[in-house]
Every structure is written in C-alpha cells, then in structure tokens.
Homo-oligomer: A and B are copies of this chain.
Amino acid sequence: MSSHAVGIDLGGTNLKAALVHHDDGIVESVHRRTDAEQGPEHIIDSVAALAEQLIDAAPSSSVVGIGIGAPGAINWDRTTVSKPPNLPGWDSINLDAALRPRVGNLPVIVENDANVAGLGSACYGAGQEDDSFIMVTLGTGVGGAIIYQNEIFRGSTGGAAEIGHMTIDYEGPFANSGVGGAIEAYLGQEFLSQHARDRLLNHPESILHDRLGNELDQLNPRILHEAARDGDEAAQELLAWAGHKLGCALGAAVNLLDIRTIVVGGGISSAGDFILDPARKTLPKYVVPGLRDNLQIYQEQLGNEVSLLGAAQLAFDGREAHV
C-alpha cells in the first residue's frame, strides 16, 4: 500500500501530528501540549502515543514512516535533534532509535522545522509554483528554507537558510542571535511589536489606541494586521516598514542563490499583502540587474498544515532523499 505517513510538528508549546495520505493530504490530526518542562522522556512518550494512535487509524500496513519537524540542530543522517531551544534538558537525542521500537519499527526521520515547512510548501502549497524557492517563515523568529531543484538545500551540516539572521544593516539593532541588523530584529514578533508600540506614540489618531487603551504592551502582529485591514494608516505604515526590510534581505538572498521565487509563511504572513506588497516593491532594488527578471513573492496559504504535510513528506521521500 505505502500510501500513508505520519507527520509530527514538535513545538515548544504544542505537539501536533497528522496522518497524511500521499495524494489526499491530511486525513486525521491530533495534538496535545508539549509540556516541555517535564523533560525529554515525557515528550518522547507523547510523540510515540500520538504516532501509535494515527498508525492505528490508518489502513493496515499502509504507513511508510514517521517524519518529525523539530527545532534545534539536526544531524546529517536526520535521526538526532540537538539542543532545541524551548525544550529544556534536551541535549542530543536520536529520535529514530528512541521511537522506532515503539512505532512498529517504522523509520523515523527528523528535519529542522523550517526546512519541513519548505518541503510541505514544495509538495502541497505555494512552493509548487517553482522547483526552486526560498521559504521565509515569519513567527516568533524568522525562519527559512531553501528548496533547490525540488530538494532541501542543507548546506554543510544541515543548518542552511538562516535568512532571519542575515544582516541588512551591519550597524543595526540586535536580534537574539547577536547579529546586528539581522531581519529578525525587525520582523521577529517581539521586535515588530516593540517597534510598533514605539511608533504609535507619534500616531495618536491610530485606532490601535482605541483598541488597546493603556495596554499597548498587548500589541502583537495579529492586532496590527487587523487594524491595517480596517484601514488604519499607522498600522499599514508599520507593516510596510517591515515588508521593506524583508525585501532587502530577500534581495541579498536572491543575489547569492539565483533563486527568484519566494514563499512567505508563518504567523505574521496573515498580514499578507500589507507586508508582501512593500517587499515586492523593494526586492528588485536589492537584486543585481541580471537576476531581476521573474522575481515572485507568494504567500503560503496553508497554515500549520504545511509543517505536518512536510513532516509526512520526509517519510514518503525516505532518509536518503534531500541530502
């Protein structure tokens, strides 16, 4: 049969899992809290339980394997997750060894969560538009993936595509990585919110003041987006500021990779064209003339599913693919 795979999104807050049919996509999904503070063994027990539940729901012997998108560094063989941020007490764990005996000896393949989103987009989402594209995931941080000729470009050690940490202003503000002027320092959720709060002081007319009252610290990208959609010029201007920065970094990435298709996903990207139109306008200005044709920025319309679909795709492709 070989028609199904289990995809798992191992996040710091939530564990999500889906049974995916190769042609039809997500058949069934389940989730539970990660409870990361209870330590790695608890998380592995939870992952095994979710996987078993989904394997039981699939037609007998139809599941080819388990794919897992995880934060942190992944080894070249895609078995082991090391030092994931937000998962305390987790040093380096071989998830294939830990899980395989508990899932009927099916192969367990792990990949960086940003790369998994890229693979999901390539196979099921906006990334189907081109066999090579740069994926940017806007969320708490700014993640990235490079899909080159339908495969994940992994670099030397599996850590490629850290587009959120490329400097676009070498004397610019610092993101958590310590890199000055990295776009995460403009587009990361906390950084964008803080910048918006500061700028709103000059925009007493913004409806955001009505909506947030004295609680400007409650401002987040979702609220900003809603205000922009409702016509608030200050909110639109703030998102355009962020989009311009995104366009600068994407320009640098296009120059280096000669990959002209960009897919933007993640939470902030629900602000859609308020960010992406300014990015589209900026992008060609930061690309060398010979590479300016056919530049495209698409928004990934799939939400979290893209990670579950990409994780399942790891299992469909097998461990040897995309390396």
Q: Is A154 within 8 A of B258, CB to CB?
A: yes
Q: Is A177 within 8 A of B132, CB to CB?
A: no
Instruction: Write out the residue numbers on chain B whose beta carbons fall within 8 Å of the beta carbon of A179.
Output: 251, 255, 285-288
Q: Is A290 within 8 A of B258, CB to CB?
A: no
5 contacts between A and B (CB under 8 A): A156-B260, A159-B258, A161-B258, A167-B248, A169-B181
Contact pick for A286, options B180, B257, B287, B289, CB 8 Å: B180
Query: Could you mark each residue 246-288 of chain A with 1 if its beta carbon is under 8 Å from any beta carbon of chain B, else 0?
Result: 0010011101111110000000000000000000000001111
Q: Is A255 within 8 A of B165, CB to CB?
A: yes
Contact pick for A256, options B166, B181, B289, B291, CB 8 Å: B166
Interface assignment of A163: CB less than 8 Å from any CB of chain B: yes
Interface assignment of A73: CB less than 8 Å from any CB of chain B: yes
Closest to A175 in B: B288
Binding site for B on A (CB under 8 A): 73, 132, 144, 146, 154-163, 165-171, 177-181, 245, 248, 251-253, 255-260, 285-291
Instruction: Write out the residue numbers on chain B whose beta carbons fall within 8 Å of the beta carbon of A290.
Output: 73, 159, 162
Q: Is A156 within 8 A of B259, CB to CB?
A: yes
Q: Is B258 within 8 A of A160, CB to CB?
A: yes
Q: Is B170 within 8 A of A255, CB to CB?
A: no
Q: Is B166 within 8 A of A169, CB to CB?
A: no
Instruction: Write out the residue numbers on chain B whose beta carbons fall within 8 Å of the beta carbon of A171.
Output: 169
Q: Which of A156, A162, A171, A257 has the most CB of B within 10 A?
A: A156
Instruction: Write out the residue numbers on chain B whose beta carbons fall within 8 Å of the beta carbon of A255.
Output: 162-163, 165-166, 179
Instruction: Write out the residue numbers on chain B whose beta carbons fall within 8 Å of the beta carbon of A169.
Output: 168-171, 181
Q: Is A256 within 8 A of B258, CB to CB?
A: no
Q: How far is the CA of A289 from the CA of B259 in the complex (A)?
A: 26
Instruction: Write out the residue numbers on chain B whose beta carbons fall within 8 Å of the beta carbon of A161.
Output: 256, 258
Q: How far is the CA of A165 from the CA of B287 in the complex (A)?
A: 7
Q: Is A178 within 8 A of B245, CB to CB?
A: no
Instruction: Write out the residue numbers on chain B whose beta carbons fall within 8 Å of the beta carbon of A167.
Output: 168, 248, 251-252, 286
Instruction: Write out the residue numbers on chain B whose beta carbons fall within 8 Å of the beta carbon of A245.
Output: 170
Shortest beta-carbon distance from A213 to chain B in Å: 35
Instruction: Write out the residue numbers on chain B whose beta carbons fall within 8 Å of the beta carbon of A260.
Output: 156
Q: Is B288 within 8 A of A155, CB to CB?
A: no
Q: Which of A132, A158, A177, A245 has the most CB of B within 10 A?
A: A177
Contact pick for A257, options B177, B251, B256, CB 8 Å: B256
Q: Which of A166, A286, A289, A290 has the most CB of B within 10 A?
A: A166
Q: How far is the CA of A101 from the CA of B5 in the complex (A)?
A: 55
Q: Is A156 within 8 A of B258, CB to CB?
A: yes
